[in-house]
């Protein structure tokens, strides 16, 4: 139980990191000493185990099924996922409320997080060849063009939500960039926070005799996102890791470019959410930018021995 509690708490820390753009749950996994185990467990997942479910009717089938689950380290993933989910549920509500009350300041905070993350990863990246420079430029241009282009104003296509889940989960294998950063770039971050908050509120309301219909719309969005995340866990996470194995520096350069290009979004959002610029508001935004950068740079300072470019075999 002590081991499972430790894994759960590490998942809470990972979830708290991944819910904000720019702070990586993968970095927390490295700090906590479970990164290699996480990558190995993801690589070991085999959907063919579903074919053995009909055999659960027999004692032998149940025993084999349980052995297969432990061989793939599924219990570890479930406990870690429970911790991540707990943090996401709690912090998503806080961040959603902050978006409602202080949108410009919060976007300033995200600007600091993303900009500092770009600096941290660039520091360990040798962008010294035409190919690597090209990868960085492609990432920057792509993020600049895409940032906010698919932004959801209270609704989004389920296909986009599905793809966002698949893309965001791939960040689990990327120390240095979070899944929330990908959602932010795609313009789905605030929408997903709102959908998750509305879904949880609707579920709580059901306990008091609330309507099931209220939970359906946000519930569908959350379920579709999770289905996309599951597919991404089995496919895209491996593709991203393969890209790292084949050309690590070019891939890191591309990620740096993504974050640089994505800086367009918090600037535009802060401007769009502000009708009157006052000295106090400008000071608050600047302070938020500095605070966001300090969080990432401080984390990097205290984990300087960790190598984002270290190769991990999948």
User: Would you state the pLDDT for residue 33?
Assistant: 76
Give per-residue pLDDT as tens, 135-185: 999 989 988 887 765 555 556 688 889 988 988 887 666 666 678 888 888
User: pTM for the full model?
Assistant: 0.74
More confidently predicted of 129 and 290: 290
pLDDT score at 312: 42
- Mean pLDDT, rounded, of the chain: 83
- Pick from 25, 8, 182: nearest CA to 81: 8
Q: What is the C-alpha separation between 231 and 224, in angstroms, rounded?
A: 11
Between 223 and 19, the higher pLDDT residue: 223
Q: Are 168 and 20 in contact (CB under 8 A)?
A: no
Q: Which residue has the tokens 């300087």?
A: 304
Helix 158-169 vs helix 236-246: crossing angle, to nearest 10: 40
């Amino acid at each position: 139980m002590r081991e499972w509690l430790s894994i759960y708490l590490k998942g809470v820390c990972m979830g708290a990191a991944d819910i904000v753009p720019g702070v990586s749950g993968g970095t927390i996994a490295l700090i906590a000493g479970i990164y290699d185990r996480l990558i190995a467990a993801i690589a070991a997942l085999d959907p063919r185990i579903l074919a053995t479910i009909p055999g659960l009717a027999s004692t032998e089938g149940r025993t084999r099924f349980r052995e297969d689950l432990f061989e793939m380290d599924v219990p570890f993933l479930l406990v870690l996922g429970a911790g991540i989910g707990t943090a996401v549920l709690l912090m998503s509500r806080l961040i959603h409320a902050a978006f409602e009350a202080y949108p410009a300041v919060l976007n300033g905070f995200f600007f600091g997080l993303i900009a500092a993350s770009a600096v941290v990863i660039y520091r360990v990246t040798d962008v010294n060849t035409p190919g690597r420079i090209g990868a960085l430029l492609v990432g920057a241009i792509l993020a600049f063009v895409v940032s906010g282009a698919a932004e959801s104003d209270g609704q989004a296509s389920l296909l986009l939500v599905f793809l966002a889940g698949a893309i965001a989960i791939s960040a689990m294998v990327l120390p240095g960039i979070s899944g929330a950063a990908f959602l932010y770039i795609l313009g789905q971050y605030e929408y997903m926070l709102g959908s998750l908050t509305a879904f949880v509120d609707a579920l709580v309301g059901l306990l008091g005799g609330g309507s099931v219909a209220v939970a359906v719309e946000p519930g569908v969005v959350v379920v579709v996102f999770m289905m996309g995340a599951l597919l991404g866990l089995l496919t895209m996470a491996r593709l991203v890791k393969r890209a790292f194995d084949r050309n690590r520096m070019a891939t890191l350069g591309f990620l740096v470019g993504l974050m640089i290009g994505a800086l367009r979004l918090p600037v535009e959002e802060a401007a769009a959410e502000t009708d009157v610029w006052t000295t106090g508001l400008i000071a608050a935004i600047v302070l938020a930018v500095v605070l966001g950068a300090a969080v990432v740079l401080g984390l990097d300072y205290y984990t300087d021995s960790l190598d984002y470019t270290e190769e991990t075999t999948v």
